[in-house]
Amino acid sequence: MNKMLDKQELERKIQELTFSAVELNLFLDTHPNDAQALQDYQYVINTLQQLKDLYNQNYGPLLNFGYASVNDNYWNWVSEEEKWPWENV
């Protein structure tokens, strides 16, 4: 499945899963014993991590601090190839 996703599709998928994680995180804050929510959260963050790794490998860093591997000859965080979130797709 992963090979099929282009950059924008992968980004959207990561966005969706991140939203699920945010929502479950807040829900768990006030329902810390909810087994279903705990299980859902575990599933979401596992899948999210896989997709983030895939993104980092193929399209550059989503996080600058200690999560993405570094290119040998260039600091990709400042790459002019990449758009910042507020710029139109």
Partner 1 sequence: MWVYDKKLEYPINISKTDPKMAQAILTQYGGPNGELAASLRYLSQRYTMPNNMGKALLTDIGTEELAHLEMVATMIYQLTQFADPEDYKEADVSGYYSIWDKGIHPDSAGGVPFTASYINTMGKDTIADLQEDLAAEAKARATYENLLDLTNEPELVGPLSFLREREIVHFQRFGELLDNLEFDKNIRKQYFIKKPRIDSLY
Would you tell me which residues interact with partner 1 (CB under 8 A)?
Answer: 11-12, 14-15, 18-19, 22-23, 25-27, 29-32, 61-65, 67, 84-86, 88-89
Closest to partner 1 by CB, 74 or 84: 84
CB of 7 to partner 1, least distance (A): 12
CB of 73 to partner 1, least distance (A): 21
The whole-angstrom separation of Cα 14 and Cα 20 is 10
Quick one: which of 43, 64, 66, 48 has its CA closest to 11?
48
Closest to partner 1 by CB, 30 or 73: 30
Answer whether 73's CB lies under 8 Å from 39's CB. Answer: no
CB atoms within 10 A of CB 12: 11
Quick one: which of 22, 7, 56, 44 has its CA closest to 64?
56
CB of 38 to partner 1, least distance (A): 15
CB of 65 to partner 1, least distance (A): 5
